[in-house]
Amino acid sequence: MAGSYNYKMLGFFRRKFKINEVQPPFDVREAFSMYAEKADSMDARQLRRFMVEFQGEPDCSELNAEGIIQQVLQKRHHLIKFTKQHGITLDDFFFFLFSTDLNGPIKTQVHHDMTAPLQQYFIYTGHNSYLTGNQISSDCSDMPIIKALQIGVRVIELDLWPNSARDDVNVLHGRTLTTPVALIKCLKSIKEHAFAVSPYPVVITLEDHLTPDLQAKVAKMVIETFGEMLYYPDSECLEEFPSPEALKYRIILSTKPPKEYLEAKQSKDKGNISSSRRDSFEEEPPENETSDVCDSESDEEDSDVYVLDGDSCHLGAPEYKRLIAIHAGKPKNGLREALHIGIEKVRRLSLSEQALEKAARNYGTDVVRFTQRNILRIYPKGTRIRSSNYKPMVAWMHGAQMVAFNMQGYGKSLWLMNGMFRSNGGCGYVKKPDFLLVKGPNNEAFDPKVPLPVKKILKVRVYMGDGWGHDFSKTHFDTYSPPDFYTKLYIVGVPADCAKNKTKIIEDDWAPVWDQEFSFPLTVPELALLQIIVGEHDTSEKDDFGGQTCLPVLDIKPGIRAIPLFNRKGEKFPSVKLLVRFQFV
Higher pLDDT, 19 or 538: 538
Which residues, 6 or more positions from 397, have their beta carbon under 8 angstroms from its beta carbon?
360, 448, 494, 527
Q: Residue 86 maps to which CATH number? A: 1.10.238.10
Domain range spanning residue 69?
A: 26-97
Does 212 fall in a domain?
A: yes
The average confidence (pLDDT) of the chain is: 87
Does 257 fall in a domain?
A: yes
Does 15 fall in a domain?
A: no
pLDDT band for 540, please (50, 70, 90 cuts): confident
Q: Residue 199 maps to which CATH number? A: 3.20.20.190
pLDDT band for 341, please (50, 70, 90 cuts): low
pLDDT at 93 over 80: yes
Segment among 73-82, 135-144, 378-387 with least mean pLDDT: 73-82
Number of domains in the chain: 3
pLDDT of residue 577: 98
- 128 & 262 share domain: yes
pLDDT of residue 237: 74
Does 555 fall in a domain?
A: yes
Could you say which of 389, 408, 436 is where a domain stops?
A: 436
- 393 & 499 share domain: no
Could you say which of 62, 97, 132 is where a domain stops?
A: 97
Residue positions annotated with a catalytic role: 127, 173
pLDDT of residue 405: 98
- 359 & 464 share domain: no
pLDDT of residue 393: 98
- 156 & 278 share domain: yes
Does 241 fall in a domain?
A: yes
- Percent of the chain beyond pLDDT 70? 84
The C-alpha atoms of residue 255 and residue 321 are separated, in whole angstroms, by: 9
pLDDT at 310 over 80: no
* pLDDT single digits (tens) 268-291: 444 433 333 334 444 334 443 333
The C-alpha atoms of residue 31 and residue 96 are separated, in whole angstroms, by: 13
Element (DSSP H or E) covering residue 559: strand 559-566
Could you say which of 82, 97, 112 is where a domain stops?
A: 97
Q: Residue 578 maps to which CATH number? A: 2.60.40.150
Q: How many CB atoms lie within 10 A of CB 443?
A: 8
- 146 & 287 share domain: yes
Report pTM.
0.89
pLDDT of residue 85: 66
Going through 99-249 in order, the beta strands assigned E by DSSP cover 121-126, 155-162, 169-171, 181-182, 202-208, 230-231
Strand 456-466 versus strand 513-522 pairing type: antiparallel
- 66 & 132 share domain: no
Whether residue 295 contacts residue 352, with contact meaning beta carbons closer than 8 Å, is answered with yes
Does 114 fall in a domain?
A: no
Does 577 fall in a domain?
A: yes
- 513 & 427 share domain: no
- 269 & 133 share domain: yes
Does 562 fall in a domain?
A: yes
- 170 & 258 share domain: yes
- 241 & 293 share domain: yes
- 409 & 478 share domain: no
Higher pLDDT, 282 or 486: 486
- 469 & 569 share domain: yes
